[in-house]
Structure 1
Amino acid sequence: MSEMATVPRRRWRPALTVSMAVALAVALVVAAFAMAAYNERLGQQERLRQAEVQLRILAGSMAAPLAFDDRSAAREYVGAQSSNPDVEAVGAYDMQGALAAGYTRAGAPPPPRNVLGPPRMDGARLVLTAPVTEDGTVLGSVYLRTVLESPTRRVMRYAGFALLIVMAALLIAVLGAASAREAEAYRELKAEIREREKAEDALRQSQKMEAMGQLTGGVAHDFNNLLMVASSGLDLLERTSDPARRERLRDGIRQAIDRGASLTQQLLAFSRRSPLKPEVVDIGQRLSGMLAILDRSLREDVTVRMQLPPDLWRVEVDASQMEVAVLNIAINARDAMPDGGTITIEARNEPSGRPDGVGDMVRLAIRDTGVGVAPDMVSRLFEPFFTTKAVGKGTGLGLSQVYGFARASGGEVGVDSVLGEGTTIWLRIPRTTKALVAPPPLAGRPSALGRDRQRVLLVEDDDSVAHLVEEMLRELGYEVKRVGDGASALDTLRSDPSFQLVFSDMVMPGDIGGLDLARDISRLRPDLPVVLTTGYSAAAAAASKEGRRVLVKPYRIEALAAELDAVLAGPSSRA
């Protein structure tokens, strides 16, 4: 939670706030007036250019009338300028500067005498003068006074600008108001999302507590039954001398212990902490080899069909756990078909489409023709101790083992079910490109005489466990010395180098645990093999990742003998 709190979150902000809308509207007005001023200047320059062109044309046409002092022709040329509504006054002047012909539309008439000069502004009017020449001889001059833009046209133009600005400002105001409403709606949505997340958290916590209650109750119920069998068996074992009865009682106690170990392994598999032993598996070959055990586990009215293409990709899984998962699914399918039916086991490759093959999966599906599962129960099928069967018909741990196996193998599991048609439970397991490894040849077991000459250093902090393991090792013919922690074990090995093997628990008091001890021994005595043992799955998984040999508790004397014989058989099998 603390790590999440330090991560900066990107906060959503509205696209347009009210203040942003006002600022944008002001900027738009300023830009519009600036553009209007610029256009005004450009318009004046263009009208000045047009007036100068008109004046030059007038001066060119007046050369002949002024040269021949034809006042009538001069008046006609001057009067022709009346066709331009912007022209207010026009005048033609002789060589002495006297007015020869004039025209006035509005305002003052042309001046009586013309004075040549550059263009000038007379209020809102433009005044231009130009000489009339012919072959370099000045014959007279012309005068032109024109309006740059009529008041009506200017009012219309600015009114159009103002209308556009007002409409744009209104549009921006509407957008700003809409954005403000959107921001408010977003805040309300965030508040609703927070409330919903709180409710979902509360629901998840409730479901978690419900599952924990089921788990605790189921474990207590099953282990109380197992303890009852073991306790009663021991009591009766002390009260009888009949060898046959004592043998039956011992078998019952052994079965109770084995069931307890199996229950623990299934719980660890559900929590994904079971120490798996992954190996490269030909899934088609492995499933085909399960036909015999499936036939023995299912009824005669249940038919098993397998559809396994020959080109199935290899996977890296714990083969025994995979077989247990398939068997658990098949048994559930059998129980879902009280009148018999067909179980179809099929597999296929599911390529990811990437050229490097990352994401390629193998899909394994087990389909039955049973009664199906109600939709409201599908999501709970993998919960521990959840079962749809009658009391005493199932523990509710079979499918939880399937879930734990799939997750621990890096894959996933799911259920598709239709009431009255059947159920399909599928697993998707990552593909591996590793090659299959041929099984090693079985090593011969050392003789009892050889064991008598071999010393084992036992490292175990629990006195009761240590006493029983010592007895088992001596029963197997080993000479045993026991210490209670890792530091004492290292001191013993430094003072006495005659041990041939170290058998150590993993979880011990002190700074040196079993895995740390194995590492220290590898540095101190690289030739000395170490076998670790634990009932704590996380420790077993950590040791397995380093390639250490681990014997998982509880174990039988036969398993202990096989593990130690395998380690002592040769250097290739040492940790």
Structure 2
Amino acid sequence: MSRKGPLGWSRTRPALTLSIAVGLAIAIVAAAFAMAVYNEHLSQQERIRQAEVQVRILAGSVAAPLAFDDRAATKEYVNAQSSNPDVEAVAAYDMQGRLAASFVRTGPGLPSRNTLGPPRNDGSRLVVTSPVTEGETMLGSVYLRTALESPARRAMRYAGFALLIVMAALLVAVLGVANAREVEAYRKLQAEIREREKAEEALRQSQKMEAMGQLTGGVAHDFNNLLMVASSGIDLLDRTTDPARRERLRQGVRQAIDRGASLTQQLLAFSRRTPLKPEVVDIGERLAGMHALLDRSLREDVTVEVKLPAGLWRIEVDASQLEVAVLNIAINARDAMPDGGTIIIEARNEPSGRPDGAGDLVRLAIRDTGVGVAPEMLSRVFEPFFTTKAVGKGTGLGLSQVYGFARASGGEAGVESKLGEGTTVWLRIPRSTKAATVEPAALPPRPSTSTGRHRILLVEDDDNVAQLVEEMLRELGYEVVRAGDALAALEVLRNDSAFDLVFSDMVMPGDVGGLDLARDISRLRPNLPVILTTGYSAAAAAATNEGRRVLIKPYRIEALAAEFDAALSGVARAS
């Protein structure tokens, strides 16, 4: 059985196109020949009609001269026909059939007696006769012989037409051949493109697997170190009673946990999955406020120069992520200058030139005077866990966070470097025409006893997490009721309405998640505040887009207290 897939069709298409072109050319020639024959027939009919009209006019003209036997007048009318170059012979006959007057230009002589009849062809000549009458009286007859178009003349007349037709047919055939070749070339090109795409896909897959291996190895290395710190700290806490030592161990475990959370956020930033909180930022004011942070992060032999022109456009970004990006770049610059040097922070507006301002960008560049980066490594500086530092000196996630932040903000990031001269890392962020965000005045801290005995509905499917969160909430003075999933939480709310707040995980087993639960609660009890929590960035981004309160895991008891206090304070103000 033959296959008639797309490839088989493409192979037969050039031959089919050529056959169509040849067939079309033959059809044009045949149609032109048929048209020529038809036009020739019409031309002969028209010549006969014209000759009949001419001979009837002549018959009418010589009627009176023949009636009065005026041979001179008859001769004059007959000779008048000589003005037509196609007329070969003309004659007028009296009622007895005798020749009364004649004119012969060429060809055979005139018949001695005129025989009346329909027009007839005599070789290349047309003979037309007509009676001469006056009423019912027969006065005589006239004879007209005119030349038809000669074969040579007819051939010349149709030669040009035939040449045009043949040229048109040849043109169609040539175009058909060219199209067939073009189709064949296109087929080959498509085949080559498919082969190249397969090769590129294989290369991308290989690179992806290499990157995944590098990423997995880096994550495993860093998290194993953090788990080692936490595990060792917990073991030692059980083996010592010295308060000072226990505090040091507790701080070490806390730092390991905080580093793990930071590592997760940096990974999410690189993959553009971290939930951003964009706000309109005056980049000049934001960078000016980072002096103290940079001074604490850099060495004394590193000088920071900030060169920001007046009138910088505003941008809409996550302000905290912007600061982290600048800090990551500055720390990389510091490490690239072991003997000290200068870090220059510059920014400028980059207008697009469009009247509506679309495409306007703000370019932020951080330049150092360090050792630079080798050209073969420039393309890899934004890869996660890629670092040129010694083991233990860096995670390789600093610049990957910068790249993820820039892309998530709708912009781009790049790097330029020369060995021995330094490196410039730049970000280009779209301009914002919105007004700058005004931070609300901070509320005075509320004492822990102000929480009273608020009742909290905790929705958490993980028993270990639920147990610790319950302990944290009770430590803060709340009364806690737990539900294992969203459906159970809805059932609790239907049976017991005396809850002041719902605190729910977002990712839970079943068809109803935390965000769905929050939507249902908003419909059932619009005034009941809901706080969602998750470590899954996509879920957090979905909730943030709906304006929901989200507390990102892992969180500390201070952050939990602040979030609950803000939610309950908002309800109190609204009531």
User: TM (normalized to structure 1)?
Assistant: 0.82
Residue aligning to 1:541: 541
The alignment status of 1:156 with 2:156, answered yes or no, reads: yes
AA in 2 matched with 1:366: A
Distance 1:342 1:471, change over 3 A: closer
Residue aligning to 2:6: none
Offset of residue 397 of structure 1: 1.3
Tell me the distance in 2 between the aligned counterparts of 1:113 and 1:423.
Answer: 120
- Partner SS for 1:569: helix
Distance 1:176 1:527, change over 3 A: closer
Residue aligning to 1:218: 218
Residue aligning to 2:411: 412
The alignment status of 1:368 with 2:344, answered yes or no, reads: no
Residue aligning to 2:267: 267
Matches within 5 A, 1:87-166: 87-93=87-93, 96-100=96-100, 102=102, 108-114=108-114, 120-129=120-129, 142-166=142-166
- Partner SS for 1:533: strand
Tell me the distance in 2 between the aligned counterparts of 1:470 and 1:331.
Answer: 40
The alignment status of 1:403 with 2:403, answered yes or no, reads: yes
Matches within 5 A, 1:12-411: 17-41=17-41, 43-44=43-44, 69=71, 81=82, 84=85, 86-93=86-93, 96-100=96-100, 102=102, 108-114=108-114, 120-129=120-129, 142-299=142-299, 300-310=301-311, 312=313, 314-336=314-336, 340-348=341-349, 350-351=351-352, 353=354, 355=356, 359-368=358-367, 373=373, 377-409=377-409, 411=410
Identical columns (%): 68
Tell me the distance in 2 between the aligned counterparts of 1:97 and 1:205.
Answer: 109
Deviations 1:69-106 (A, max 9, x none): 469x959986995994x554443545754224556566
User: TM (normalized to structure 2)?
Assistant: 0.82
- Partner SS for 1:234: helix
- Partner SS for 1:310: coil
Tell me the distance in 1 between the aligned counterparts of 2:528 and 2:461.
Answer: 21
Offset of residue 374 of structure 1: 5.4
Tell me the distance in 2 between the aligned counterparts of 1:149 and 1:480.
Answer: 117
Offset of residue 276 of structure 1: 1.7
Residue aligning to 2:559: 559
AA in 2 matched with 1:27: A
Offset of residue 322 of structure 1: 1.8
Distance 1:500 1:197, change over 3 A: same
- Partner SS for 2:305: strand
Offset of residue 491 of structure 1: 4.0
Residue aligning to 1:3: none
Distance 1:181 1:494, change over 3 A: closer
Residue aligning to 1:477: 477
Please tell me whether the aligned partners of residues 443 and 569 of structure 1 are also in contact (alpha carbons under 8 angstroms): no
Distance 1:112 1:375, change over 3 A: farther
Tell me the distance in 2 between the aligned counterparts of 1:201 and 1:267.
Answer: 25
Distance 1:248 1:188, change over 3 A: same
Please tell me whether the aligned partners of residues 361 and 428 of structure 1 are also in contact (alpha carbons under 8 angstroms): no
AA in 1 matched with 2:225: N
Please tell me whether the aligned partners of residues 14 and 184 of structure 2 are also in contact (alpha carbons under 8 angstroms): no
AA in 2 matched with 1:340: G
Of 21-30 and 434-443, more deviation after overlay is shown by 434-443
- Partner SS for 2:380: coil
Of 424-433 and 254-263, more deviation after overlay is shown by 424-433
Offset of residue 131 of structure 1: 8.2
Tell me the distance in 2 between the aligned counterparts of 1:562 and 1:403.
Answer: 31
AA in 2 matched with 1:392: G
What 5-or-longer segments of structure 1 have no aligned partner?
1-9
AA in 2 matched with 1:319: A
Distance 1:98 1:427, change over 3 A: farther
AA in 2 matched with 1:275: P
Please tell me whether the aligned partners of residues 67 and 139 of structure 1 are also in contact (alpha carbons under 8 angstroms): no
Of 104-113 and 183-192, more deviation after overlay is shown by 104-113
Of 469-478 and 250-259, more deviation after overlay is shown by 469-478
Tell me the distance in 2 between the aligned counterparts of 1:233 and 1:429.
Answer: 43
Distance 1:573 1:461, change over 3 A: farther
Of 51-60 and 466-475, more deviation after overlay is shown by 51-60
- Partner SS for 1:458: strand
Distance 1:479 1:172, change over 3 A: closer
- Partner SS for 2:238: helix
- Partner SS for 1:383: coil
RMSD: 4.1
Residue aligning to 2:7: none
Please tell me whether the aligned partners of residues 533 and 551 of structure 1 are also in contact (alpha carbons under 8 angstroms): yes
Tell me the distance in 1 between the aligned counterparts of 2:535 and 2:46.
Answer: 98
Offset of residue 217 of structure 1: 0.4
